[in-house]
């Protein structure tokens, strides 16, 4: 075995506690331990950190576990990163769905506009309108959205609001409705005539 393999194996055997660099120096005297450790650190296989006045060595994976166990700030950062990762996964799936819907829409180009109306296609067009710059707080009147989409899909007023209700129910984490306006969706006895994406 090479000197690096010997040192790495010894460090691996110590688990999350790590091993003192001085203990490694006592055990490995036949070669330059400092150079070997430097090579392992540069390769990303080993981490060296100071606890008190003593230097300890861990493998990279075990060091992350060690930090997660002893450092609350690190633990919070890891939890936040995992949360962001989950959110990115959710949004990337939404983007994939939207693109697949758009591809399907393009395949059926030239077909009857009413035949193209399903919740997925409606969502793509609805989201496109919501993504345009609107007011400084992001709200847009449902009547304005209806005017654009009713022309594109040849929808009646009732058909449009039926689809809006389905959309908001199916994707409640993506849309927010607000009361007001001259037309909209009636929820809990109140007219909701404004919408924005969350």
Q: Name beta bridge partners: 179.
A: 192
Helix (H, G, I), strand (E, B) or coil at 58: strand
**Residue 28 to residue 4: CA distance in whole angstroms:** 11
Convert the pLDDT of each residue in 27-47 to its tens digit.
998 899 999 999 999 999 999
Convert the pLDDT of each residue in 163-193 to its tens digit.
999 998 888 888 888 998 889 888 888 888 8
- 105 versus 93: which is more confidently predicted? 93
- Mean pLDDT across 14-19: 88
Q: Residue 194: which residues within 8 A CB-CB, separation 6 or more?
A: 139, 140, 141, 142, 177, 178, 179, 180, 181, 184
* Cβ contacts of 152-156, under 8 Å, gap ≥ 24: 152/113, 152/125, 153/113, 153/114, 153/116, 153/117, 153/122, 153/125, 154/113, 154/114, 155/114, 155/117
Identify the weakest region by mean pLDDT among 81-90, 95-104, 136-145, 171-180: 95-104
Q: What's the predicted TM-score (pTM) here?
A: 0.43
């Amino acid at each position: 075995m090479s000197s690096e393999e010997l040192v790495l194996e010894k460090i691996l055997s110590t688990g999350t506690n790590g091993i003192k660099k001085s203990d490694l120096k006592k055990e490995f005297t036949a070669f330059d331990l400092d150079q070997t450790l430097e090579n392992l650190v540069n390769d990303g296989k080993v981490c060296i950190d100071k606890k008190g006045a003593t230097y300890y060595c861990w493998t990279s994976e075990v060091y992350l576990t060690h930090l997660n166990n002893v450092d609350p700030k690190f633990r919070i950062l890891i939890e936040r990163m995992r949360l962001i990762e989950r959110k990115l996964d959710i949004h990337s799936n939404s983007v994939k769905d939207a693109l697949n819907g758009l591809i399907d829409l393009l395949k059926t180009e030239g077909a009857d506009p009413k035949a193209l109306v399903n919740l997925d296609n409606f969502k793509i067009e609805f989201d496109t309108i919501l993504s345009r710059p609107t007011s400084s707080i992001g709200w847009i009147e449902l009547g304005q959205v209806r005017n654009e989409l009713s022309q594109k899909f040849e929808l009646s007023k009732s058909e449009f609001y039926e689809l809006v209700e389905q959309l908001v129910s199916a994707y409640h984490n993506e849309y927010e409705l607000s009361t007001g306006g001259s037309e909209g969706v009636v929820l809990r006895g109140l007219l909701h005539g404004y919408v924005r994406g969350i």
